[in-house]
Copies of this chain bind each other. A is one copy, B any other.
Amino acid sequence: MISNSSKYAIKAVLFLAIHSDEEHKIMVKDISEPINVPQAYIAKLLQELAKQKLISSTRGPKGGFYLSEEDKKRNVMDIVNVIDGEKRLNACLLSLERCNSDNPCPIHHLANQSRVVLMKKLKKTTINELALDVKKGKSKLPL
């Protein structure tokens, strides 16, 4: 449903939300270890996120990745969409071509409500909000 890559991306972005800003950029090697994702792997994901403008970066010495204030207002779904593609979460749970209520598969009625609720929450929850939860101790980041 959500790929491993997306999970890693979310972890990395949250890490940046908590520890970085315009003045405090962070290098991949200092991100990969605390979030427990191989450096070369998370590097590739961060590059993709940067290319799609979900996170910010600068090259060269003193460079690194960070989240601008704008970046922090992004929602979680944006990350999943960039890494996994838009279709993934909307796909039928039994692999029908299109999932819709007019031509529902046998478990559509069973599962669709949960999925809709989840997707709404992923869309309306910002990176900032999740980062705040972690800072307040309501959730834990080092995974």
Interface residues of A (CB under 8 A from B): 1-2, 4, 7, 10-11, 14, 76, 93-96, 103-111, 113-115, 117-118, 121-122, 125, 130-131, 133-134, 138-141, 143
The reply to whether A108 and B2 contact each other, CB–CB distance below 8 Å, is no
B143 touches A7 (CB 8 A): no
Do A95 and B134 have beta carbons less than 8 Å apart?
A: no
Instruction: Report whether B106 and A130 are in contact in the complex, using a CB–CB cutoff of 8 Å.
Output: yes
Q: Hey, which chain B residues are within 8 Å of A122, CB to CB?
A: 110-111
User: Hey, which chain B residues are within 8 Å of A107, CB to CB?
Assistant: 10, 76, 130, 139
B4/A94 in contact, CB under 8 A: no
In the complex, the answer to whether A110 meets B76 with C-beta atoms within 8 Å is yes
A7 near B114: Cβ-Cβ < 8 Å? no
A141: nearest chain-B partner, CB-CB: B106
- Best-surrounded residue of A1, A7, A110, A134 (most CB of chain B within 10 A): A110
Q: Decide yes or no: A4 and B95 within 8 Å by CB, A109-B138, A109-B139 being known contacts.
A: yes
Query: If the complex has contacts A110-B122, A114-B114, A114-B115, are A95 and B10 also in contact, measured as CB distance less than 8 A?
Result: no
Would you mind naming 25 contact pairs between A and B with Cβ atoms under 8 Å apart?
Answer: A1-B1, A2-B93, A7-B93, A7-B95, A11-B94, A14-B106, A76-B107, A95-B143, A103-B140, A105-B139, A106-B130, A106-B131, A106-B133, A106-B134, A106-B140, A109-B133, A109-B139, A110-B118, A110-B121, A110-B122, A110-B125, A110-B130, A111-B118, A113-B117, A114-B117
